[in-house]
Structure formats: structure tokens, C-alpha cells
Amino acid sequence: MGNVLDTRNRVEVCFTPEEYHNFKEEFDIVVVIDVLRATTAICTAISKGVKSIIPVRSIDEAKKYKSKGFLVGAERKGEIVEGFDFGNSPYTYINTDYADKEIVLTTTNGTKALDIAKNAETVLVGSLINIDSLNNLLSNKKSNVLCLCSGWQSKFNLEDTICAGAIVDFLISTGNFTSIEDSSIASKYLYLSAKDNYLGYLKSSSHRRRLINLNLNEDIKYCLTPNQTDVIPILKNGKIIKL
Amino acid sequence: MGNVLDTRNRVEVCFTPEEYHNFKEEFDIVVVIDVLRATTAICTAISKGVKSIIPVRSIDEAKKYKSKGFLVGAERKGEIVEGFDFGNSPYTYINTDYADKEIVLTTTNGTKALDIAKNAETVLVGSLINIDSLNNLLSNKKSNVLCLCSGWQSKFNLEDTICAGAIVDFLISTGNFTSIEDSSIASKYLYLSAKDNYLGYLKSSSHRRRLINLNLNEDIKYCLTPNQTDVIPILKNGKIIKL
């Protein structure tokens, strides 16, 4: 570790977008994770044929796109913002209503993380629903990988950390990756405790409670069900497309 | 949780001093934790009769005290800073050489966290070596408790988190406290996995590796051995004294 003879690449975890400045210099690939629900919704959308998604950070920016005739989704604190076409439920895209469309999206946490990471060499979109496919892709790269969790309003969240831990655990198991940060070690530990029962493990998590209060239990179950797609969305020139 | 009828107090965990601004408004008691090694050293010093410790943030400030004739400890990146009397090893105080003295101390992470928290109503110094005594005191207070981990150079660390998790676990077990933040839930999970073997659990942690490289294995063992003292240091008017 840190040894000059160690040729392994690094896989690390950053818990919140606010901490990204501590990590960004050292990583070629950033995987943005917002399990509940932005990156799960984006993976669903791309897997159901949506042509591209333009992530924007503010409601104002989203309104500008809306006034130009774009299809625009906007979510804040778990709810659809008034005047927009949809929020960040993955079920929005499940019936391929938006196949071949270009969509604009702003969410509380996920699109903020995408915006913060946008200047990295490669920005991928990760979630539990595409985790095996993502892990296979990453394991074939000779690059340092940073899992950037979106968190909840600048704070740590458990579901993104567990998803990041699944990536750390897999990449380390290949023998070609190592982690030197305690955030990565903790993510792996938390993933190993959670992996046999995500719903049970996360039952007391703050975000799950928040969404259950909004009657979004079906969304939660969907977001916590691994490997529903092998699509890996990538951010290129401000748009998320299929890799 | 968050219910108006819920009369329980909160116990939460903030992983780094940088995130303290997200938490500080809501807590009456802040427990500052830097297991390896600042708060362990401070608990040791106070238990061995040191009269008071003035924590300062910068080397410059420490130099000013030194030039005035104070006994001054200064540590950066695990090593004693040249020109100072000692660093942050708890063994500095073990032979009561400094009993009844006033000491000035600056460390990489711990004294920064103390400085950031200094305006809270009550600031206590926590570590594994005084954990049961601290937990008993906190359980008798009707106050919201924040465990402020010092981290490592602005990043999450595992040993402080586990110590914080021990506090969360104990206070929740009394029935009078609740946690609503995922950072607190994760800390508790990590503590429960670690508690039967701190040394083994932390063997891959970044800070432990760092200190082992500096031949500080005895310090590590000492810092990870719970309940060596029942002293609880408190920060009052810029000085840490015995509660």
C-alpha cells in the first residue's frame, strides 16, 4: 500500500459531493452513485431506450430547458417539483414512454454529484440495478476508480455507501485493486453486513424512512434489487448516454 | 423519529470537523474523539494529574506559548514537531511526570476538532480508554449528544467512528436516545462488528498503518484498550480540565 512496487490500481469511496475536493486529483474514473433514486432512475431510463439525459443542478436551469420545450424532470426532497413532467422515480421510464427522447433532470443530490464530477476523465453512473455489469467493466480497466456517493443534503447516507462497498469488495477480490482510505474499508464492511438483505439492513436508514413517508415503498424495493440491467450510463459532454 | 411525541434525545455522529457545520445547531453536548491519539493522550494526561491542557490549532500558536515558557506538545502526521517537548503519545503522561502542570498541545486532527467545537454548550473529550465512564455520564443527561470524530486530514477514519458507534449503541440501549442520521447508524454497525477485536478489525485502517510505519505499535495497543480510566476531560474557557 503506497509501496512503489505496488502496481495495483486504487478503488476508493467518497461519502459526499462536499468531500470530492479531497479525492479528485487521483482518479481517472468516477462512478456517481445515488441509489435512492437518481442514478437508479438514470440507469432505468437508459436501459429503456432514453436517448440521453442532461443533468442540471438547479431548478432555474431546469425551468429554462422546460421553456424551450424539453421534457424535464425535477425532484426536491423526494417529491416532484410543481410544474415539471416527472421527478426521479425509476418507474417513470419503465414502460418505455420516453424511448428515443432527450430528457433534462435535476434532483436533490444525484445531479449535484454528477455536476461536481463532470471534469473527471470518465464519469459513469452506478446503482445496485447495474452493479455486476459495472463491476465487470471496472475490473477490466487499468485505472484508479472513485465511487462518489451523492449522500443526502451534504450528509453521509447508507444506501450509496453500501453500493460503493459492493464495488470495492468486487474490485479488491480481483487482486488488481487496493484501497487505502478508511472510507473504502468501512464501505466494504457495511456492504458485507448488508448484502444478504438490503431491505432489512436499510430499514432504519434515514432516506428509506423519508421515502416510506411519501409512500414510495415500491420505488425503494426496485432500487434495492440488484442486476436488473447491464446498461452502464456515461456522462459525455454534459449528456448521459449509453456506454 | 422526528415525531413530536418522541421525547428521546438524539445521539448522532459527525465524521469529520469539516462537516460540523451541518450538525452544530442541534446539539448541547459535543464529544470530541481522536482515538489515535490526541483525545486518548488528553484523557491519559488528565487521569495522571495534569492540571490543564490548552489545545491550540497551529504550530505558530504553539511556538508563541513555548517562547513564553509553557510546556508544549506538537504533533504533525504522527511525529513530534522539532523544537517541542513532546508529541501526542499517551505514554508521555503515563509516569505522572507532568502532574499538576499546565500543558499546551497542537495535533494534526484532534486539536482542530476541539477548536471547531469550542462554542458548543458542553465539550467533552472522548476515547476508548474512558468510554464506559463517558457513556454513563451521557446517559444521565437530558441533552442531544453529537460525537465529533477528528478524522484524518479532513477525511473519515475508522477508529474514531467505532468509538462514536460505542456511544451511539450504549445511549440507544438506554431507551432515552435515538439516532436519525445514517452516519450514526453506520457507526453503530461498524462498532458492533469491531467490538470483540479492535486491533484485528482496525489492522487495515489507514491510520494504524501510518503509525505502525512510525513504530508506534505500543501506542496503538494502548489507545485501543477500553476503560483504563474513569476521568472525563471537559473544555472550559479554552482549557481542558477534569470534569
Query: Tell me, what's the pLDDT at A4?
Result: 60
Do residue A158 and residue B19 have CB atoms under 8 angstroms apart? no
Do residue A207 and residue B182 have CB atoms under 8 angstroms apart? yes
DSSP class per residue in B165-206: HHHHHHHHHTTSEE--SHHHHHHHHHHHHHTT-HHHHTTT-H
Q: In terms of pLDDT, which residue wins out, B3 or B241?
A: B241
* Residue of chain B minimizing CA distance to A186: B158
Nearest to A165 by CA among A201, A119, A116, A200: A201
CATH number of B9-237: 3.90.1560.10
Interface ipTM > 0.90: yes
Over residues A14-43, the pLDDT tens digits come to 999 999 999 988 899 999 999 999 999 999
Nearest to A89 by CA among A126, A54, A37: A37
Do residue B22 and residue A185 have CB atoms under 8 angstroms apart? no
Q: What strands, in cross-sheet order, belong to the sheet with A233-236?
A: A79-80, A71-76, A102-106, A52-55, A239-242, A233-236, A122-126, A29-33, A145-149, A9-14, A177-178
Cα separation, B87 vs B72, in Å, equals 9
* Of residues A155, A157, A183, nearest to B156 (C-beta): A183
Query: Tell me, what's the pLDDT at B4?
Result: 60
Set of chain B residues whose Cβ sits within 8 Å of the Cβ of A19 = 16, 18, 154-155
Cα separation, B96 vs B103, in Å, equals 13
* Residue of chain B minimizing CA distance to A194: B189
Q: Is the peptide bond before B37 cis (omega within 30 degrees of 0)?
A: yes
Query: Tell me, what's the pLDDT at A211?
Result: 82
Task: Examine the pLDDT at B3 and tell me if it is beyond 70.
Answer: no
Cα separation, B145 vs B134, in Å, equals 12
Do residue B206 and residue A182 have CB atoms under 8 angstroms apart? yes
Cα separation, A69 vs A143, in Å, equals 39
Q: Is the dihedral of CA A111, A150, B31, B84 positive or negative?
A: negative
Smallest CA–CA separation between B70 and chain A, in Å? Answer: 35
Do residue B18 and residue A15 have CB atoms under 8 angstroms apart? no
Output the nine-digit C-alpha cell for B90. Answer: 499517551
Q: Of how many residues is chain A composed?
A: 243
Q: Is the peptide bond before B208 cis (omega within 30 degrees of 0)?
A: no
Tell me, yes or no, if A158 comes closer than 8 A to chain B by beta carbon: yes
Query: Tell me, what's the pLDDT at A26?
Result: 87
Q: By the 8 A CB rule, do A240 and A73 touch?
A: no
Give the CATH fold of the A9-236 domain: putative 2-phosphosulfolactate phosphatase (3.90.1560)
Cα separation, B24 vs B18, in Å, equals 11
Q: In terms of pLDDT, which residue wins out, A201 or B12?
A: B12
Cα separation, B42 vs B88, in Å, equals 8
Query: Tell me, what's the pLDDT at B11?
Result: 98
Burial per residue of A29-59, b for 16 or more beta-carbon CB atoms within 10 angstroms, e otherwise: bbbbbbbbbbbbbbbbbbbbebebbbbbeeb
Do residue A155 and residue B185 have CB atoms under 8 angstroms apart? no
* Of residues B16, B155, B193, nearest to A181 (C-beta): B155
Tell me, yes or no, if B197 comes closer than 8 A to chain A by beta carbon: no
Cα separation, B26 vs B13, in Å, equals 12
Smallest CA–CA separation between A180 and chain B, in Å? Answer: 6
Q: Of how many residues is chain B composed?
A: 243
What are the residues facing B54 on neighbouring strands? B104
Task: Examine the pLDDT at A156 and tell me if it is beyond 50.
Answer: yes
Set of chain B residues whose Cβ sits within 8 Å of the Cβ of A183 = 155-156
What are the residues facing A242 on neighbouring strands? A233
Task: Examine the pLDDT at B240 and tell me if it is beyond 50.
Answer: yes
Q: By the 8 A CB rule, do B172 and B184 touch?
A: no
Share of chain A above pLDDT 70, in %: 98
**Integer angstrom CA distances of residue A177 from A7, A133, A168, A184, B17:** 9, 17, 8, 12, 30
Task: Examine the pLDDT at A3 and tell me if it is beyond 80.
Answer: no
Do residue A22 and residue B155 have CB atoms under 8 angstroms apart? yes
Smallest CA–CA separation between B158 and chain A, in Å? Answer: 6
Query: Tell me, what's the pLDDT at B212?
Result: 80
Do residue A182 and residue B15 have CB atoms under 8 angstroms apart? no
The dihedrals phi and psi of B238, each to the nearest 5 degrees, come to 85, 0
From its phi and psi, is residue B203 left (phi > 0), alpha (psi between -120 and 50) or beta?
A: alpha
Domain ranges across chain B: 9-237
Tell me, yes or no, if B204 comes closer than 8 A to chain A by beta carbon: yes
Task: Examine the pLDDT at A1 and tell me if it is beyond 70.
Answer: no
Burial of B141 (0-12, 13-18, 19+ CB in 10 A): middle
Over residues B173-231, the pLDDT tens digits come to 999 999 999 999 999 999 999 999 999 888 878 777 778 888 888 999 999 999 999 99
DSSP class per residue in B42-79: HHHHHHTT--EEEE-S-HHHHHHHHHTT-EEEEEETTE
Task: Examine the pLDDT at B1 and tell me if it is beyond 60.
Answer: no
Residue among B3, B34, B156 with most chain A CBs within 10 A, to mutate: B156
3-state secondary structure of A103: strand
What are the residues facing A122 on neighbouring strands? A29
Burial per residue of A185-212, b for 16 or more beta-carbon CB atoms within 10 angstroms, e otherwise: bbbbbbbebbeeebeebbeebbbbebbe
Do residue A1 and residue B154 have CB atoms under 8 angstroms apart? no
Q: In terms of pLDDT, which residue wins out, A8 or A204?
A: A8
Do residue B156 and residue A1 have CB atoms under 8 angstroms apart? no
Smallest CA–CA separation between A128 and chain B, in Å? Answer: 18
Do residue A181 and residue B156 have CB atoms under 8 angstroms apart? yes
Please enumerate in sequence order all residues whose Cβ is within 8 A of that of B200, keeping only pairs 6 or more positions apart, or say none.
Answer: none
Torsion of CA A158, A164, A167, A169, to 10 degrees: -50
* Of residues A19, A154, A205, nearest to B185 (C-beta): A205
Neighbours of A4 (CB within 10 A): 5
